[in-house]
C-alpha cells in the first residue's frame, strides 16, 4: 500500500474514534464541558505498561460518564485497544524524553511522545484551549469543531455539483464523437482526468465524514447521490474502451482512486490503467464496444446487450448492422432487431441534441 493511502486510512480510523456519536466522543465532550482537561490512551500492551507509573488499576467497562468522572483526576486514563474498558486512571506516563516533541505543555508533550514510542492512539484534551488533539505514531491532528468541518464538507459537495455538470456535458460530447467515429485516446484520457478530479473530492469528503460521524448523514446522502451516477458511468466507459485482458472496470476505478492524490496524472499512467500500451499515440482513433449506447435503449436486457456486443465487437459495426445481421445474434429476433435500430437512432438524436445544450 502506498504511503499516502496508508496515512489517510490511519487518519480516518483515528478520527472515527472521536467522531460525534461515538461513545468516546460523548465522554470527551463531557470532559470538555467540565473543563478539566484529559489524556486518554487507547491500548494497554507491554510497551505501554513499561511507561505507566502509579495510578489506579480499574479494569471496568467504559462508559462516557465514567470517563468524565475519572478525568477530574490528574494524569492519564488508559483504555483497552477496543475502547470498551477503562484499565487505568490517574496514571503518570514516562515516555522517552529524548523523543522530539513540538508541543509546549506537559500533557501534549507526553501525548506526542507516548504515541511515537508505542504507536497507540493518544488523545489530549486541553484544559486551557478547549481543543482535542489526536496523536498516533508521527501523526498529529487537531480535531476541528463540527461547524468548521460541515462548512468544508458543504463546499466539497458544491464542487462535486459543479463537476457533475461538466462531466455530463463531457459524456454527451463523447457519445456524439462515438457516432461520428472520432473518439481518440486523448478524449478517453480527458474523461479519466475528469473522473480523477471527482474522486479527489470524494477522498476529501470521506475524511470529513469520518470526522463528522452521525452529524455527517446528510452530507453522505448528497455525496452518494452525486457520485453514484458519475462512478457508474465511468465504469461503463471503461467497459466500452478497455482492451481485452485489461483489469476489470471496478478494479481500474479503484486503482484510479488510489492514484488521485497526485496532482497531475501522467499520460502513460492513465494509458496503463486503461490497459493500453504506454506508447499508444494520443491522437489514435478508438471505438467503443457499444455498451453505453445500447444501455440507453429502453427495455433491452443486459444479456442481449452482451450478446450483441460480443457478436459485433465494436459499436460502429452494431450501428451499421442491418435487421438481418442483428437477427443472427442469439436472443435477437426480427422485432428486437428493429427495436435496436430504432433505439440507436433515438439515442443518436438525443445525443446530438444534448451536445449543443
Ligand atoms: N507525564 C504525564 N503523564 C500523565 N499526565 C500528565 C503528564 N504530564 C502532564 N500530565 C497532565 O497534564 C496536566 C496539565 O499539564 P500542562 O498544563 O503542562 O499541559 P498542557 O499540555 O499545557 O495542557 P493544557 O492545554 O490542558 O493546559 C497535568 O495536570 C497532568 O494531569
Which pLDDT tens digit goes with each residue over 272-292?
Answer: 999 999 998 999 999 999 999
How deeply is 125 buried, as exposed, middle or buried, from its count of CB atoms within 10 A (0-12, 13-18, 19+)?
buried
Q: Residue 356 pLDDT more than 70?
A: no
Percent of the chain past pLDDT 70, that is, above it, reads 99
Whether 37 lines ligand 1, by a CB cut-off of 6 Å, is yes
Structural contact between residues 92 and 53, judged by C-beta atoms closer than 8 angstroms: yes
Domains of the chain: 11-143 (3.40.1700.10), 144-288 (1.20.1260.110), 289-357 (1.10.150.20)
User: Considering the chain, what is the average pLDDT of its residues?
Assistant: 94
C-alpha cell at 79: 483504555
Mean pLDDT of 216-227: 96
Q: Residue 38 pLDDT more than 60?
A: yes
C-alpha cell at 297: 435503449
Ligand 1 test: best mutation among 35, 54, 106, 111, most atoms within 8 Å of CB?
106
Whether 125 lines ligand 1, by a CB cut-off of 6 Å, is no
**Nearest CA, atom 12, ligand 1:** 107
Interval between CA 21 and ligand 1 midpoint (Å) = 27
Dihedral of CA 153/155/157/159: which sign? negative
Amino acid at each position: 500500500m502506498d504511503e499516502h493511502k496508508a496515512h489517510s486510512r490511519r487518519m480516518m480510523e483515528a478520527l472515527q474514534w472521536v467522531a460525534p456519536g461515538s461513545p468516546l466522543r460523548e465522554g470527551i465532550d463531557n470532559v470538555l464541558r467540565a473543563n478539566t482537561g484529559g489524556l486518554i490512551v487507547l491500548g494497554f500492551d507491554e510497551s505501554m505498561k513499561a511507561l505507566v507509573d502509579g495510578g489506579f488499576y480499574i479494569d471496568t467497562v467504559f462508559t462516557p460518564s465514567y470517563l468524565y468522572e475519572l478525568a477530574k483526576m490528574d494524569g492519564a486514563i488508559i483504555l483497552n485497544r477496543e475502547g470498551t474498558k477503562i484499565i487505568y486512571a490517574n496514571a503518570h506516563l514516562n515516555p522517552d524524553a529524548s523523543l522530539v516533541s513540538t508541543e509546549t505543555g506537559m500533557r501534549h508533550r507526553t501525548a506526542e511522545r507516548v504515541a511515537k514510542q508505542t504507536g497507540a492512539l493518544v488523545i489530549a484534551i486541553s484544559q486551557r484551549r478547549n481543543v482535542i488533539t489526536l496523536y498516533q505514531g508521527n501523526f498529529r491532528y487537531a480535531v476541528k469543531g463540527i461547524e468548521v468541518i460541515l462548512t468544508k464538507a458543504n463546499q466539497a459537495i458544491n464542487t462535486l455539483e459543479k463537476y457533475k455538470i461538466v462531466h455530463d456535458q463531457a459524456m454527451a460530447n463523447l457519445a456524439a464523437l462515438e457516432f461520428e467515429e472520432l473518439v481518440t485516446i486523448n478524449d478517453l484520457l480527458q474523461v479519466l482526468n475528469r473522473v480523477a478530479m471527482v474522486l479527489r473530492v470524494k477522498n476529501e469528503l470521506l475524511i470529513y465524514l469520518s470526522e463528522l460521524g452521525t452529524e455527517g448523514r446528510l452530507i453522505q446522502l448528497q455525496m452518494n447521490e452525486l457520485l453514484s451516477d458519475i462512478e457508474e458511468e465511468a465504469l461503463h466507459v471503461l467497459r466500452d474502451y478497455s482492451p481485452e485482458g485489461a483489469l476489470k472496470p471496478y478494479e481500474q476505478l479503484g486503482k484510479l482512486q488510489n492514484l488521485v492524490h497526485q496532482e497531475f496524472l501522467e499520460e502513460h499512467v492513465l494509458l496503463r490503467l486503461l490497459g493500453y500500451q504506454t506508447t499508444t499515440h494520443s491522437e489514435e482513433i478508438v471505438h467503443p464496444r457499444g455498451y453505453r449506447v445500447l444501455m440507453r435503449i429502453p427495455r433491452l436486457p443486459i444479456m442481449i446487450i452482451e450478446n450483441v456486443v460480443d457478436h459485433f465487437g465494436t459499436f460502429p459495426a452494431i450501428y451499421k448492422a442491418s435487421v438481418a445481421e442483428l437477427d443472427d445474434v442469439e436472443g435477437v429476433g426480427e422485432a428486437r432487431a428493429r427495436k435496436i435500430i430504432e433505439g440507436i437512432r433515438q439515442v443518436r438524436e438525443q445525443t446530438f441534441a444534448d451536445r449543443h445544450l
